[in-house]
Amino acid sequence: MKEEFSALLQRKMTARGFEKLMALKNEKLFAFIGEYVELCDPDTVYMCDDSDEDAHYVRRKALEAGEEKKLARDGQTAHYDGYGDQGRDKANTKFMVARKNLAQMGNLNCVEYEEGLAEIKRIARGIMRGKEAIVKLFCECPTMSPFSIACAQITDSYYVSHSEDILYRRGYGHFMQMQDKDDFFRFLHSAGALDERGCTVNLKDRRIYQDIEDMTVYSLNNQYAGNSVGLKKLAMRLAIKKAAGEGWLCEHMFIMGCQNREEGRTTYFCGAYPSACGKTATAMLPGETLVGDDIAYFRNLGGEFHAANVERGIFGIIKDVNPKDDPVIFNTLMQEKEMIFSNVLTGPDNNPYWQGMGIETPKEGTNHSGPGWFEGKKDADGKMIPLSHGNARYTIRMEYLENLDPNWDDKQGVLVGGVIYGGRDSDTSVPVEESPGWENGIILKACTLESETTAATLGKEGVRVPQPMANLDFISYPLGQYIQNNIGFVKGMKKAPLIFAMNYFLRDEAGEFCTHKLAKKVWLHWAEQRVHGALDALRTPTGLIPAYEDLRRLFREIFDEDYPEADYRYQFTFRCDAWLAKLERATAYYKANVPDCPAMAYKTWEEAIEKIQAAKSEFGALIPPGAYK
């Protein structure tokens, strides 16, 4: 251990804290902590282990410092981020890349490595003076498992450390036992200077830089958890790069268990959906079980496709969580358990309230704009301030959920039977379609994924936004190579999962959605039975779709409702012209933006276009289900 850091850390830590650090016998960890304690210069450093005592200390200090405040229900607290710091800062979130490698990063947001590191060190120098730094160790995925990635975090925010303790597995014991002492992710965070509300003020110096070579994240002058909780989407970018070099995958997917009670089995699905395309609604379907809601690691274990949940908790958008649409989450949020609400309204009764809550809400209170909010209050630009921020969040542990799958923390993960890619379009894709094979599914379903904008969000309805793999914001190396790695991942496996495309947003001729919100449960259960070879399917030019009688039976069994054949025929008609336009858009997008796109992708799209054109010549532009052979 470096002697200079030893003297520094002994001066800043308690004897017990320094003893806990030294017990790990990890030179790389010691050097990381020493270097950034020296640079950031906190008054004191608190070293955590896995004890509840240390977790309680952080939680208590968050309250004492005003970073959180107690709510009426025991265990619940509220946190507020400052204006301008209530969402992800994409512009200042950059990859640090050596000059020689910058060209191959394409249009990813990058900064030259030495330039970026110098900038970080300039901003970080002395940034923690007058504060206490918290050092806490975590593990992504179950500890001491094939999926585990150790993580070390230094932060001067008790709120951030508290959030991470809810969201991730404690890792001190894992650090003690792990074999490769050098293999861990590192995170440095500082909220920087704070105002009277405890909110970050130096937003001009907000930086979220990711060193994907040395596996380190630097996050400065911010508090919003999407920027400051490094173990979430920032670590996801590190993991995607790490996975590329080690032969596994990190994906922006839920993991859930589909319950076939008649057969007494659970079949696990993973699903990738762009924002507002049904990801959470699918993961939390009533009657099914949840393994993870956001990020999955995939590994080949013994020739089988296994997935593990990276996280221990959920950092979820709270807007529109209500008793009707999200009963499991809503009921959980009413419990007296340890959880954090961020940027919601705190009413006169000291309870949290949010937009779309489904119950009557107060007309005044404290919210993301500060104390003294009232209904009709406007901001400096004359815009109405809603009772809660549109990106307000809840932070809870998975263990609170009544639908938690019993295998959610299994060290071997779960065996995956199917992978779902869900997009959003009103006039092209059928509600559910199975790909004829893994490679075809990645290229034809995942790579061509799109999300259709609505008038409510962008002011112009019907614009198709490319969303390759529903992971574009987090891919940390060239997209073409990433696609190739996804295609090749199943090579040598005993059985690859089936790939399904789902679309919950098809509209009828009157412009209304074709099915109710819970119809997705039928599409999921059809997919579950296909995984086990229990049902036949009908061919289309791009895959396989359900037969009417099978869906009719499932609607009756699951909802005790009729499913008219006329509805089926409309919903599962193959729309040749719309599909041709979709594939033309995909081809143009990849030619313009992905110079390393695999040749097999273009070949697959060309073959699909030829097949659709031939089918159109034979059957017409609209091919009813069962007509194509």
> Which residues does the annotation mark as catalytic?
277
Q: Which of 288, 290, 332 is nearest to 312 (CA)?
A: 290
363 touches 191 (CB < 8 A): no
Residue 445 per-residue DSSP state: I
Q: Is 382 helix (H, G, I), strand (E, B) or coil?
A: coil
Cα(440)–Cα(594) distance, integer angstroms = 19
β-partners of residue 271 are 254, 420
What is the DSSP secondary-structure string of 552-585? HHHHHHHHS----HHHHHHHT-EEHHHHHHHHHH
389 touches 279 (CB < 8 A): no
Q: How far is CA 587 from CA 583, 608, 629, in A?
A: 6, 12, 26
Compute the C-alpha angle 476/480/483, nearest 5°: 85
Give me 628's structure tokens: 């194509």
Instruction: Give the N- to C-terminal CA distance of the chain in Å, as an integer.
Output: 70
Cα(139)–Cα(161) distance, integer angstroms = 14
E strand map for 398-511 = 414-423, 432-434, 450-452, 464-466, 498-503
How large is the greatest C-alpha to C-alpha distance in the chain, in angstroms?
81
Q: Between helices 599-619 and 576-593, what is the axis angle to 10°?
A: 160
